[in-house]
Amino acid sequence: MPAARPHRWLILGIGLAAQTATSAYLYGLPMLLPQIRQTGGLSLASAGTLVAAPSIGLLATLILWGAVADRRGERVVMALGLGLGGVFLLGAALVDGFGPQFALLVLAGAGGGSVNAASGRVVLGWFAADERGMAMGVRQTAQPLGVALAALVFPPVAAGWGVRGALVVSALACLVVSGLIMAFVVDPPRAARVPGHRPCSPYASSALWRVHGSGALLVVPQLAISAFALEFLVTQRDWTPAAAGRLLFAVQVAGALGRLVVGVWSDRVASRLRPMRTIAVAAALAMLAVGLGAAAGSVLAVAAIGVATVVTVADNGLGFTAVAELAGSEWAGRALGAQNTAQNITAVLTPPLLAALIAGSGFGVGFAVVSAFPVLAIVTIPVGAEARHWAATTGDARPGSGADRVHAAVDMHN
């Protein structure tokens, strides 16, 4: 069994390092906004566009990278994309002018998309079903860890060596991890291809579409908290930015650990989507509590923000694991790319739309409205389809205890 091989933990660790390295520049460049504006003489809008450039490249290439990984394997795709990301970041550090820097950062984001699509396939291939949720939970801690490292490293480096120095540090990290991938990552074994046979698309049924939609819906409360919690604490609760930042850093680290915990939970109950549905219920209640507390001017809103920050990020790894399992090895890369694309589109749209709502109606109404999105996810998460998938492919709902099989049988009718 592939999952019994000990080197899978090294491969998982390198995958985590690769995802962390890309997350640092894909999502951590806003930590350089003051220096970018000062050194480039840019307006806030122009500087914001520049730091968003990697996300544009990411969105444009996720599904393409997934398709290449499905055909050519994970090792080459991850190493090539991460290496290209490092090269383009070095280019962005060396050129002058908004246009050239923007273009190179878009290309760096496009390279980083390879890791998002291919590292999930590695987890699918090297870890058995009873460990896969935990392994994917480890992988999914990379995004908050990458942003946390960017917050820790980028500002002081930029203060000493400018924005160019911060970009060089990020580029070198990508190049080093790319070398580690080539040296130590091994593609998991695949079933032999049958000449002339093309595997059926898993998108013929609604299950994957519903997981993509549910994942996108659950990104809305996550972005609402990450984008507006600090602003709320500073402007409505009279906290200093430094104090608010320390609180949010602490709960983001707790959220990263939460992704690992729920991954283990999903392994124990032999289901990804039942825990995901439970988390959606918790996210809806947490966001409603934030909204009511904000509307009432209560200090309970602060406690609710802490809970919501942890809860709203916990489901991410479950959705990706479910997508990989439902898609199967022949389609996993493309399906993971589609899941990433849906979530990143939501992540781009949520802040400006929610900002307009908050500007017109206040934080209380804005946060309360956000609670409707996880409610919709509760309905759309295809728990029954997951049970039917495993019953069809393994002859049982999933490997697990008798109680797990009873739950799966009940969910078949939902």
pLDDT at 26 over 60: yes
Residue that terminates a domain, selected from 184, 216, 234: 184
Q: Are residues 235 and 262 in the same domain?
A: yes
Confirm whether 160 is domain-assigned. Answer: yes
Residue 22 lies in a domain: yes
The pLDDT value recorded for residue 158 is 87
Q: What is the pLDDT of residue 401?
A: 38
204-258 per-position pLDDT tens digit? 888 999 999 999 999 999 888 877 887 788 889 988 867 777 787 788 788 888 8
On the question of pLDDT at 2 being above 50, the answer is: no
Print the domain residue range for 255: 202-411
335 and 243 share one domain: yes
Model confidence at 408, in pLDDT bands (50, 70, 90)? very low
How far apart are alpha carbons 321 and 169 in whole angstroms? 31
Distance between CA atoms of residues 113 and 66, nearest Å = 9
Could you tell me if 136 and 230 lie in one domain? no
Residue 20 lies in a domain: yes
Q: How confident is the model at residue 44 (pLDDT cuts 50, 70, 90)?
A: low
Q: What token pair was written down for 195?
A: 């000449």
Q: Of 132, 151, 184, which residue is a domain's last? A: 184
Residue 395 has pLDDT above 70, yes or no: no
The reply to whether 179 and 209 lie within a common domain is no
Indicate whether 178 and 297 sit together in one domain: no
For residues 139 and 121, what is the distance between their CA atoms, to the nearest angstrom?
Answer: 11
Span 188-216, average pLDDT: 79
Residue 362 lies in a domain: yes
pLDDT at 200: 78
Residue 398 · residue 390 · CB < 8 Å: yes
User: What confidence score (pLDDT) does residue 260 get?
Assistant: 87
Is 283 within the bounds of a domain? yes
Q: Select from 156, 184, 212 the last residue of a domain.
A: 184
Residue whose C-alpha is closest to residue 163's, from 112, 95, 106 = 95
Q: Is the pLDDT of residue 105 over 90?
A: yes
Mean pLDDT for 382-397 is: 74
| Whether 218 and 97 share a structural domain | no
Q: Is the pLDDT of residue 45 over 90?
A: no
**Residue 190 is assigned to a structural domain of this protein:** no
Total count of domains within the chain: 2
CA distance 85 to 78: 10
Statement: residue 72 has pLDDT above 50:
yes
| Claim to verify: residue 170 and residue 40 sit in the same structural domain | yes
Instruction: Specify the pTM.
Output: 0.75
The reply to whether 208 and 79 lie within a common domain is no
Check which CATH number belongs to the domain holding 336 and give it.
1.20.1250.20
**What's the pLDDT band for 199 if we cut at 50, 70, 90?**
low
Mind giving me the DSSP string for 193-219? PPTT--PPPGGGSSHHHHHHHHHHHHH
Question: Are residue 119 and residue 177 in the same domain, yes or no?
Answer: yes
Residue 191 lies in a domain: no
Both 125 and 273 in one domain: the answer is: no
Let me know whether 250 and 396 are in one domain: yes
Q: Can you give the pLDDT at residue 5? A: 52
Mean pLDDT value across the chain: 84
Residues 35 and 142 in one domain: yes
For 188, phi then psi, to 5°, come to: -65, 150
> So what's the pLDDT on residue 20?
93
pLDDT at 400: 40
373 lies in some domain: yes
Contact between residue 281 and residue 376 where contact means Cβ atoms under 8 Å apart:
no
Rounded average pLDDT over 31-38: 78
Q: How high is the pLDDT of residue 3?
A: 41
Highest mean pLDDT among 129-143, 235-249, 361-375: 361-375
